[in-house]
Each structure stands twice: as structure tokens, then as C-alpha cells.
Amino acid sequence: MDIAALIISGLSLVVAGIGTYWSNRRSKEALAGSRRAAADARWSARQEAVQRLTCPGTRNPDWRTSFAQHGVV
């Protein structure tokens, strides 16, 4: 009976280890995806800001107002 309990305990330890490995792997992938998304969002905001400064007429026909709204003037 003690040997059966030992075998079951060993199997549960192996299953727990495998589950932890897969969980950590998925977590790392999700974190990497989140970081990529954050970097893309920052890049998109910077790109939009530069576009507003270099081509203010594309967003607002009155470029003076556009510059004033963004604190450039």
C-alpha cells in the first residue's frame, strides 16, 4: 500500500511540474505579446505626433490652431 501511495505521489508531482512548465511558457508568451503591443502603441502615438507637426494641414486646415492645440506655439 505504501508503494502505491508513493507511485501516485510521484505521478502527481510529475503532472504538477508539467502543468507549471506549460503555464510559465504561456505566461512568457503573453508577456512578450503585451510588450510588443505596448511598443507598437507608443510608436503609433509618436508617429501620429510627428505627422501632426510635419503636416499640420492634413488634420486641421488652420495650421496655427493645430500648433497651438499641441503646445508648439
Share of the chain above pLDDT 90, in %: 45
pTM of the model: 0.49
Q: Work out how many domains the chain is built from and give that number.
A: 1
Say if residue 58's pLDDT is above 60. no
As a whole number, mean pLDDT of residues 54-64 equals: 59
For every residue of 9-73, DSSP letters joined together read HHHHHHHHHHHHHHHHHHHHHHHHHHHHHHHHHHHHHHHHHHHHHH-HHHH-SSHHHHHHHTT--
Amino acid at 7: I
In this prediction, residue 60 carries a pLDDT of: 52
Q: Residue 31 belongs to what domain range? A: 2-69
